[in-house]
Amino acid sequence: MTDAVGSIDTPDAQDEVSESKKKARKGGKRAKKGPLKRLATFYRQIIAELRKVVWPTRNQLTSYTTVVIFFVAIMIALVTVIDYGLNHAAKYVFG
């Protein structure tokens, strides 16, 4: 009996091919290379990825830094006010 995909009784040809590929890849690439070669490959890949990074210009970096410092200053002030208020509330409640 068949349907649009294939025979129900026999597995698809793609399933058989993928199973044979899985069995043939025992060990993979790591088994062939030593630890120093893998480390060198890792560092080459890091350098290749860093070359793809779009680095900000000096103006963008200055504006981003200013925004972060301003935001941190606001958060410090907010936490200080909340801490000061809770300190006085605790002194009021507990004497």
Residue 24 maps to a domain: no
Q: Residue holding tokens 């480390």?
A: 39
User: By three-state DSSP, how is residue 39 classified?
Assistant: helix
The number of distinct structural domains making up the chain is 1
> Is 70 contained in some domain?
yes
The structure tokens listed for 32 are 């062939």
Residue 40 lies in a domain: no
Query: Structural domain of residue 87, as residue ranges?
Result: 57-94
Q: Residue 26 domain-assigned?
A: no
| In-domain check, residue 78 | yes
Instruction: Give the Cα-Cα-Cα angle 73, 74, 80 (nearest 5 degrees).
Output: 90
Question: 0.75 exceeded by the pTM?
Answer: no
Residue 11 phi/psi, 5° resolution?
-70, 160
pLDDT one-digit tens code per residue, 56-95: 999 999 999 999 999 999 999 999 999 999 999 999 999 8
* CA 48 to centroid of chain Cα atoms: 17
- The C-alpha atoms of residue 77 and residue 70 are separated, in whole angstroms, by 11
| 12-61: pLDDT as tens digits | 555 555 555 555 555 555 557 788 999 999 999 999 999 999 999 999 99
Four-point Cα dihedral 17, 20, 21, 26, nearest 10: 170
